[in-house]
Structure formats: structure tokens, C-alpha cells
Amino acid sequence: MQIVIDIHEKDYQSLKDGHIPFNVLDVIMNGTPLPKGHGRLIDADRVIKKMEEREEKLKDDRSIWETAGVETALNMFGETIIEAESEDK
């Protein structure tokens, strides 16, 4: 099983130093399990941003359609496994 955990930097450093923080079990238990057989985990928001930057640079109809197609496909078929990190983290 693979899980994604949200752990404070200080606690992560403690683990690396060989010390087990008291809350490590809670952190693991609150992790997000990844679906068995999942594919690549990508930053879909970054893909869209890069496509939009490309569209702005090229300023042509084809890049506009390509950006719209990629964004539509990601929104329709890209299951969100882990929510985006908020700006304040």
C-alpha cells in the first residue's frame, strides 16, 4: 500500500535524524491512500498553466484549442487523488 502523508518539516527532519516524533502514528493514519494500480501522479494545474503560457506566447487558434482540449480532458477524466496544497502552506 502507498500513502501520501502531510508531515511538518520539523517532524520529518526528526525522523531523518532517527528520532520518532510522538505524533507520527497519527500522521500516518491520516494519510491519503493511493488507489491500487494508479498511474503517474502529475501536477495537472501546472500542466494547464504551462499550456496557457504557451498559448499566450504563440497567440494562434491552434494553441487556444489545444489548451482548451487539455484542460477539458484533465477536468473530465483526471481523478483528483490529492487536493492541491493551499497557498498558505
Task: Kindly state whether residues 27 and 53 are assigned to the same domain.
Answer: no
Mean of the per-residue pLDDT values of the chain: 92
Q: Are 74 and 47 in contact (CB under 8 A)?
A: yes
Task: Kindly state whether residues 16 and 50 are assigned to the same domain.
Answer: no
Q: Provide the domain limits for residue 3.
A: 1-38
Task: Kindly state whether residues 64 and 52 are assigned to the same domain.
Answer: yes
Residue 87 above 80 pLDDT? no
Number of domains observed in the structure of the chain: 2
Task: Kindly state whether residues 31 and 71 are assigned to the same domain.
Answer: no
> What DSSP letter does each residue of 21-45 carry, written as one string?
-TTHHHHHHTSEEPPTT------HH
- Tens digits of residue pLDDT in 21-76: 999 999 999 999 999 998 899 999 999 999 999 999 999 999 999 999 999 999 99
- Tens digits of residue pLDDT in 13-23: 999 999 999 99
- What per-residue confidence (pLDDT) applies to 83? 87
* pTM of the predicted structure, to 2 decimals: 0.68
